[in-house]
Structure 1
Amino acid sequence: MAWTVFSLFIALVFIGGFLIYKVKYGFPVRFETLIPEIEFPKERKIKVLLFSKTTGFRHDASIDAGKKAFSEMAVKNDWFLYETEAGGVFNEEQLPKFDVVIFNNSTGRVLNDEQQQLLENYVEEGGMLLGIHGAGDDSHRWDWYEENLIGAKFSHHPIKNQIQETDLFLEPDISPSLKKGLPDTWAHADEWYVFFSNPRIQGFRIVYTIDGEKIDPDGNFFLIRSKNFGMGKDHPVAWYKNIVKGKTFYTSIGHDASAWEHDAFIQMLENAVKWSVE
């Protein structure tokens, strides 16, 4: 009996460790290098690359809802949208033709070294990178990405009270084009990411915040007992920055499909895509 209990405990520790490793680091199976065939429009219109590859935790419902939402936005605004989960599009010829690259809940290591460098160059030479929710966790292992898209290191998200509803507050002093059509406040339930520092410190402009003192940030889980802190009252959930000649925009909103049911969330992302060509 004792041996059975011990074996079960060891199995649970192994499974728990496996899951934690996958969430934090991902398990890349392969890096796609095949260059896809893309027929870019000849006329001038915003060109969007929607990238949804994951090697870490996969937010299936939100990813699918995001694909649908961006497809509808593309039709509404006459954008060119190319959607893929294969990294081959990150090549010298095709990547510069896009105005914005969207990491749609992409987690884990999704690009090889060369592709990462191409994306860094793309942004610094005038392109834009937009990240949604899981794109901001700590599974990417990419310093440039963390510094220039996130502006802070991810710590955890609440575990006991994983999904919590709270009010979001619009920052008054942001780019008018990013502010267009956004409500001053709106309520939403999400998995609120906690970062070790505030991206304001690194010069990022905040779009929306929540009151971090009105949620339970406790992320303690299994043998991890040090994740019981939050970010305090000023808890940003969407922000942006000019990076050399380019731009980045990130929001930690979007854990599940419910986020895509909010007009404010859709409008914020639509504004961000339009901002890419300003």
Structure 2
Amino acid sequence: MIWALLALLGMLIPSASLADSQYKLLILSIPNKYHYEYIPVARDSLERLAKLHAFDFTWANRTDAFDGDLGQYAAVMFLNTPGEVLNPAQRAKFEAYMRAGGNAIVVHRAAITPPNDWVWYEKLVGRSFVNHPMLQTGVVTIADKGFPATFGLPDRWIWSDEFYVFTNPYDVAIDPVLKVDESSYDPTKIWPGQVARPMGRDHPVAWRHVYEKGRVFVTTLGHDVEMYRDPTYLAHLMGGLYWAATGQGEAASGQ
């Protein structure tokens, strides 16, 4: 009898798994030549983060998701998929979304877009890609300890990735979140026929800024499939996602 009563109560009382979602994301993830193996792993990890942190997302492997109502999403994540894949009408809709206060998250390959193909998107990213040296192990350092995408990260984080080289042709102001110490790897190590030059002491690998009327979080880390299983990387990604979607989580000045 007692078990039947408990079962009935269980049906009447909402469980944590049925709790209302705090916000909803649109995640665009389309396979490309160098980034496809990560997709099932990243999706599984994001599903676990969504359950843990009570948010929802729409996973899109086609751009027609941008034909619908973008206003339902707290943020749009370009996950290893740059905005260049959008057609002109979809680009216009995304621009209108950002001008209405929408937010964006740009991950790794999504920061690479052909120069002058869509200047508005280049400015949204905040930097223009030049090239990258071969994947190497380096030391990533924290540029902003009060930003959620750095919480839980060590001051000097040993990480292996493609440390992208950028320029700033449109003079976009960004707030660096993470930088890479170029003395910890060889920034000139690149494939025959190419030339890679150091960026020097100011080499951001993650940053945030405000664009149009929305928040933008960019992390250039996340090349390899195993990274999307790594708890430290996922904490970094979750912190940036959380801030972009809600505008919350920054530590008070002086903490």
1:1-278 matches, within 5 Å, as 45-54=22-31, 57-91=33-67, 93-107=68-82, 109-139=84-114, 141-149=117-125, 151-158=126-133, 162-172=134-144, 174-175=146-147, 177-197=148-168, 202-218=172-188, 221-222=191-192, 224-225=193-194, 227-275=195-243, 276-278=245-247
Distance 1:256 1:139, change over 3 A: farther
How far 1:179 moved relative to its partner?
4.1
Paired positions, count: 228
The answer (yes or no) to whether the contact 1:205–1:239 under 8 Å persists in 2 is yes
Alpha-carbon separation, structure 1, partners of 2:159 and 2:210: 28
3-state SS of 1:90 partner: helix
How far 1:131 moved relative to its partner?
0.9
Alpha-carbon separation, structure 1, partners of 2:169 and 2:208: 13
Alpha-carbon separation, structure 2, partners of 1:123 and 1:102: 13
Aligned residues: percent identity?
27
Distance 1:198 1:219, change over 3 A: farther
Which string of whole-angstrom CA distances, capped at 9 and with x for unpartnered residues, describes residues 229-262 of structure 1? 1211221110011123211111110111132233
Which string of whole-angstrom CA distances, capped at 9 and with x for unpartnered residues, describes residues 204-247 of structure 1? 1111101124322236545x44x231211221110011123211
Greater CA drift, 63-72 or 228-237:
63-72
How far 1:174 moved relative to its partner?
4.4
Which string of whole-angstrom CA distances, capped at 9 and with x for unpartnered residues, describes residues 9-43 of structure 1? xxxxxxxxxxxxxxxxxxxxxxxxxxxxxxxx995
Amino acid at match of 1:88: D
The answer (yes or no) to whether the contact 1:164–1:215 under 8 Å persists in 2 is yes
How far 1:147 moved relative to its partner?
0.8
3-state SS of 2:37 partner: helix
Structure 2: gaps of 5 or more residues: 1-17, 248-255
Partner of 2:9: none
Structure 1: gaps of 5 or more residues: 1-40
Alpha-carbon separation, structure 2, partners of 1:261 and 1:147: 30
Amino acid at match of 1:79: F
Alpha-carbon separation, structure 2, partners of 1:250 and 1:116: 19
Amino acid at match of 1:212: E
Distance 1:112 1:82, change over 3 A: same
Which string of whole-angstrom CA distances, capped at 9 and with x for unpartnered residues, describes residues 164-200 of structure 1? 111111113644x44443432311111111113499x
How far 1:44 moved relative to its partner?
5.4
Q: RMSD of the alignment, in Å?
A: 2.6
The answer (yes or no) to whether the contact 1:47–1:81 under 8 Å persists in 2 is yes
Alpha-carbon separation, structure 2, partners of 1:44 and 1:260: 23
The answer (yes or no) to whether the contact 2:217–2:241 under 8 Å persists in 1 is no
How far 1:135 moved relative to its partner?
0.4
Amino acid at match of 2:48: E
